A and B are shown apart, each in its own frame.
Chain A
Amino acid sequence: MSSEFEISKRITIGQYVPTGSFIHRLDPRVKVFAFTILVLAIALNTSYIGNTIGLVLSLYLFWVSKIPIRYGLSGIIPAIPFIVILAVLQLLFQGQLFSHGKVYVDYGFILITSESIRLVVVSAVRFVEIIFLSSVLTLATSTTELTHSIQSLLSPLKKIKFPVHEISLITTIAIRFVPTFAIEMEKMMKAQASRGADFGTGGWWRIIQRTKETFPIIIPLFNIALSRAEDLILAMESRCYTPGGERSSYTTYQIAAKDYLALVTGLLFAILLFAYPFPI
């Protein structure tokens, strides 16, 4: 029997699962670049075949990275309600925009065509593919590697005074602290439950009560977040961190043959998904 408070178990973002697989050992810059173009290509692909290829590819990448697929699926579960609601709304109300194609239902303002069905199915599958791909990336890449690669991929933007270093630092910190706050939240829920708090009891329509129930957790979490931030500032400054300062790096990456292989494969799939005229 598992505990009603195990939140951290359900959060896969920001976790690093070191399995030492091929994907783990890739140059992080190549990895981030390849995953980014793949996600973009998938986001722009509207064909059934194309998205099937995308889905198979993202499942295959899980297998290559040796991360249990079950764990990847657990990251999808919290998103299911959104996917379903989105699908229903699209199905009912987006037909007007996709009135070409075969008409199945035409009832008042509800218009369902083969094209609007395609939109619904493809959006849902796309969502799953993108969650899978980003999970593989974050589960197989440590936070430090992620920062490095985001920073070096964005570095051309420095020329136009884009705050590359700051943005990559902020992103990294944000991702890094997701699991930490999940654990803090779990602890806080337990602590308040120990003095009689209950969560999610009243029906969802009793919005005010449900909101009030969250105060004993939200308020302490804000305090904890602020004091963590102060600690982080101290820790960084005591190691001579200066904003905007030039920093050298402990690890330097050498692009090797396996990285070119991954890069070319990623590019090929991206071009295929982006440009190939799939029949359906």
Chain B
Amino acid sequence: MAGRPIIEIENLSHTYMKGTPMEHVALKGANLFVEEGECVAIIGHTGSGKSTLIQHFNGLMRPESGKVLIDGEDLSNKKVNLKTLRQKVGLVFQNPEDQIFEKIIGDDIAYGPFKLGLPLKEVRERVKWAMSVVGLDFEGMIDRQTFALSGGQKRKVALAGILALKPKILVLDEPTAGLDPRSRNELLDNIKRLNKEEKLTVIFVSHNMEEVALLADRVYVMADGTDVLNGTPKEIFTDKEKLQRYHIGTPESVQVLYRLTDLGYEVKTDAFSITEAANEIIKVLACKKECSKHVQRI
């Protein structure tokens, strides 16, 4: 896939609380390249600088040193139009339900579009579209009170609030953290659909390897403020030596397959989607039956 580069980050560094005793280097020489239409996952331990990195995408943070190019635009340039940039790059923070402040769902989703100065009719269209994308019933939910929603519904509202800006690039910080399994799956489906059907470029931070294996075209691994590894999920999850070196977890499916190889069975360890892994296990089971029959006959 040789798409157009849409995010190019080179040698980026950032220090928090600069000039105080609490000074803390969060990024040192990080790199990241994303092509238009890709779905990229960023993984890494807590404190490795993932959130700091993604806050550079929409100009919440300016490059202290290094280069940040978003859709060809250099963010070191002070004259960058931040409003347009933030419309283009929709950033969904961790626990985005905290940011809901209007009483009515519709008003909260409409906040961004109104801030863009769009006419009422257009705003309404966008709210309707955003709600349908995240799976909220427009007629039934638009006038509902925001405080009485469940956690999963609140997160949908928050996501819709960003989608209503019609971004080209969607960035999500640990989007499924703290969600119940059902809301989680719905959210993942939505993200997948936005990437595949609406052609949004998606970048998400995650600690859940199943999620990463399921959604991502490519994975970046962060450690100590830099990118230490990147590749397709297949490349990352089959590199046993690096998995251990950087303490990267693997999807449960891969763990099962690794265990089976350790026990001496011949399975492919790069089959980490649930169905592929299941097929491998069935093969082992089938062989076992065959083999044991064989043993009995002898």
**Chain A residues within CB distance 8 Å of chain B:** 1-3, 5-6, 8-9, 15, 17, 19, 67-68, 70-71, 74, 187-188, 190-198, 215-216, 219-220, 223-224
Contact = CB atoms under 8 A, between A and B. Distances in A.
A50 to B, nearest CB: 31
Interface of B: 16-22, 55, 58, 60-64, 76, 83, 86-87, 90-93, 96, 98-101, 111-112, 115-116, 161-162, 165
A15 B17 CA distance: 12
B26 to A, nearest CB: 12
Contacts of B96: 191
The dominant DSSP class at the B interface is loop
Contacts of A15: 22
Task: For the complex of A and B, list the 10 residue pairs with the smallest distance between their C-beta atoms, beginning with the closest.
Answer: A196-B115, A195-B112, A219-B101, A194-B91, A191-B99, A191-B93, A1-B62, A17-B21, A196-B112, A3-B61
B115 A71 contact: no
Contacts of A3: 60-62
B60 A194 contact: yes
Contacts, number: 83
A196 B20 contact: no
B52 to A, nearest CB: 10
Contacts of A6: 16-17
Contacts of B99: 188, 191-192, 195, 216, 220
A138 to B, nearest CB: 13
Nearest to B55: A190
Contacts of B20: 9, 68, 71, 74
Among B58, B93, B99, B165, chain A packs the most CB atoms within 10 A around the CB of B99
A228 to B, nearest CB: 11
Given A190-B93, A216-B101, 6 more contacts: A1-B76, A15-B22, A194-B91, A195-B111, A198-B83, A220-B100
A5 B62 CA distance: 11
A2 B98 contact: no
A203 B91 CA distance: 28
B21 A196 contact: no
A191 B17 contact: no
Contact of B63 (A1, A68, A193, A195): A1
Contacts of B22: 15, 17
A234 to B, nearest CB: 17
Contacts of B83: 196, 198
Nearest to B15: A2
A191 B62 CA distance: 16
30 contacts: A3-B60, A5-B60, A9-B20, A15-B22, A67-B21, A68-B20, A71-B19, A71-B21, A74-B20, A190-B55, A191-B93, A192-B99, A193-B60, A193-B86, A194-B92, A194-B162, A195-B111, A195-B161, A196-B83, A196-B116, A197-B111, A198-B83, A198-B115, A215-B101, A216-B101, A216-B111, A220-B98, A220-B99, A220-B101, A223-B98
Among A3, A17, A197, chain B packs the most CB atoms within 10 A around the CB of A3
Nearest to A184: B98
A70 B100 contact: no
